[in-house]
Structure 1
């Protein structure tokens, strides 16, 4: 789905590829910075751990809150996508797409209830199936594509009169198109930092966590870039931009109409992997907040299998409410804003800890620091400013969620004894 959204906003092959490359570099530089933080502070909870250490309790709570809300929004977005795919594949189903989305959330919550081992095994199976299927389709696209170079892919989209426009929607500036495109790209890449939520559960966090972060970014970025290059090699940009499922269109060109269903199955496998990863990680955000005294103590309890049960229930229920009442575009806009804000908080924590705690044990050090940190920080800040200017409504919603964290923090302080940092 995302390749079509990006193509609709940018309208030419070089810009599309540039957006995915920029997203990959952004994620890689961020992964190197977060690898240093995670290896130095190997505690469950994710971004909130670093924010609290560097900026204090209020910042730790705010970052944990927006991290969890962003996870719920992203989870609902993917679940709705799965529902749409399923109804498209099986139109005779007696239920709607939102019911399917809710059932998917429930199913993966039950898997996570079995423990981290079951969740990790399901993630490995889904990831392997996704990689094999995508690579097979990529090879088929290149084998069946006409001879073209990237310069020839800069095909302008056409408006209703047949006149060339640089982007799909008449009257939309390229700057706004770039913001919307990068929202989709960043949301798609998001998940590269997932290992930080399980930092305590690595055998050797100082080695395993950096390897997992960097290796994950490189493998995912390579796959996404190849997918987009393959699509651009096979299909006109205008067809990609006008498609809900560009990969299904590509498969139809190669194999015939029946193969569109195969691509929907592939999209489902990919989306299942995203749901599984988020349902694994989000409850551990609440666990980390609770254990540090920043949230209700009940959320620090775990089952015999190590699952934060209450966090799992609340996360699943919250995502379910967003599925029922949320809007796809709003969820995407708010989630991408919150994700970038989290990256900004992580880089800020990295810089402050380097300055304030130079003697902190750092088994892994960001090799590009301070240049890489500056690039990610400035890129994140620029994205947020552009989002506020060009996607004001969704940005305002995200900022409202941030402001809500302040009274929530005061409330939890009254209900929860605060341990030392």
Structure 2
């Protein structure tokens, strides 16, 4: 649902389509998440024991392999339902991956067009697809998957992604101040209160991830990975003499 923003620079009639996409996407996903979590809480106890031998004893807190949805389905409908739930989750994952792969390549494409990545990545094939970006993304994803550390990588990314969302919202305030006359086909809802509330809440979550003994082991590596990109960015700008292209639209 949020990947539409990755391709915002290429969306036709963004003034109409971006707000609609975000509204319906957020609403639908929020409703599904809410109903799913209600079902989990009604079916399984929130607290559990690591040493529990049954699904009810382990609860949501210590669901085996963190598969809460599968555990809830098994409690409600039996072991056969757990298999069906696992298959449905797998199908959903493939659908999610499809959107992530297609939208992710557009990020590299935009970076290259702004002079912040290899120029060849900013080229489209005859069908308008960033072919080189897809290839690079495929190779990098394959290397990460082959590392066998998927769980750790996922934990690193959660913090890093949340941090970038915070920075994006902060950038909204900066652009509004530095470019007050810029054309903005899409206006941020509830500005400045909603973005400010998001920055405050998400920052507190980031801080909790960094300080909590349970999550800090993965949050700090995620932060270091992000910080490692700062010198790379300035080094790239220096050797390529790149300048960031101004926004076509703006926030």
User: TM class by shorter-chain length?
Assistant: 0.7 to 0.9
SS at match of 1:403: helix
Q: Is residue 241 of structure 1 aligned with residue 68 of structure 2?
A: no
2:226 to 369, 394, 402: 402
Task: Tell me: CA distance 1:410–1:362, structure 2 relative to 1, closer, same or farther (3 Å).
Answer: closer
Alignment-derived partner of residue 152 in structure 2:
330
Residue correspondence of structure 1 range 89-100 to structure 2 within 5 A: none
- 1:214-241 superposed Cα distances (whole Å, 9 cap, x missing partner): 2111100100110111122223333333
1:265 to 87, 105, 109: 87
2:201 to 379, 382, 400: 379
SS at match of 1:303: coil
The two structures, once aligned, show a CA RMSD in angstroms of: 2.1
How many residue pairs are counted as aligned between the two chains?
230
Deviation of residue 366 (structure 1)? 2.6
Residue correspondence of structure 1 range 205-284 to structure 2 within 5 A: 205-237=14-46, 238=48, 239-243=59-63, 244=65, 245-284=67-106
Looking at structure 2, the residues matched to 303 and 334 of structure 1 have their Cα atoms a distance apart, in angstroms, of 33
Gaps of 5+ in 2: 49-58, 246-251
Task: Tell me: CA distance 1:370–1:410, structure 2 relative to 1, closer, same or farther (3 Å).
Answer: closer
Deviation of residue 415 (structure 1)? 5.1
Task: Tell me: CA distance 1:393–1:232, structure 2 relative to 1, closer, same or farther (3 Å).
Answer: closer
Task: Using structure 2 for the length normalisation, give the TM-score.
Answer: 0.82
Contact 1:296 1:416 (C-alpha < 8 Å) held by counterparts: no
Looking at structure 1, the residues matched to 152 and 9 of structure 2 have their Cα atoms a distance apart, in angstroms, of 34
- 1:232-255 superposed Cα distances (whole Å, 9 cap, x missing partner): 222333333332323323333343
Q: Is residue 355 of structure 1 aligned with residue 150 of structure 2?
A: no
Q: Is residue 202 of structure 1 aligned with residue 24 of structure 2?
A: no
Looking at structure 1, the residues matched to 75 and 220 of structure 2 have their Cα atoms a distance apart, in angstroms, of 42
Task: Tell me: CA distance 1:354–1:323, structure 2 relative to 1, closer, same or farther (3 Å).
Answer: same
Task: Tell me: CA distance 1:334–1:199, structure 2 relative to 1, closer, same or farther (3 Å).
Answer: same
Contact 2:156 2:218 (C-alpha < 8 Å) held by counterparts: yes
Contact 1:344 1:381 (C-alpha < 8 Å) held by counterparts: yes
Deviation of residue 299 (structure 1)? 0.8
- 1:16-65 superposed Cα distances (whole Å, 9 cap, x missing partner): xxxxxxxxxxxxxxxxxxxxxxxxxxxxxxxxxxxxxxxxxxxxxxxxxx
Deviation of residue 193 (structure 1)? 2.2
Alignment-derived partner of residue 412 in structure 1:
236
Contact 1:299 1:310 (C-alpha < 8 Å) held by counterparts: yes
Alignment-derived partner of residue 248 in structure 2:
none
Looking at structure 2, the residues matched to 247 and 344 of structure 1 have their Cα atoms a distance apart, in angstroms, of 29
Looking at structure 2, the residues matched to 420 and 396 of structure 1 have their Cα atoms a distance apart, in angstroms, of 29
Task: Using structure 1 for the length normalisation, give the TM-score.
Answer: 0.51
Contact 2:169 2:199 (C-alpha < 8 Å) held by counterparts: yes
Task: Tell me: CA distance 1:354–1:420, structure 2 relative to 1, closer, same or farther (3 Å).
Answer: closer
- 1:271-313 superposed Cα distances (whole Å, 9 cap, x missing partner): 1122111111111111111101111111101112222122111
Contact 2:2 2:22 (C-alpha < 8 Å) held by counterparts: yes
Task: Tell me: CA distance 1:420–1:256, structure 2 relative to 1, closer, same or farther (3 Å).
Answer: closer
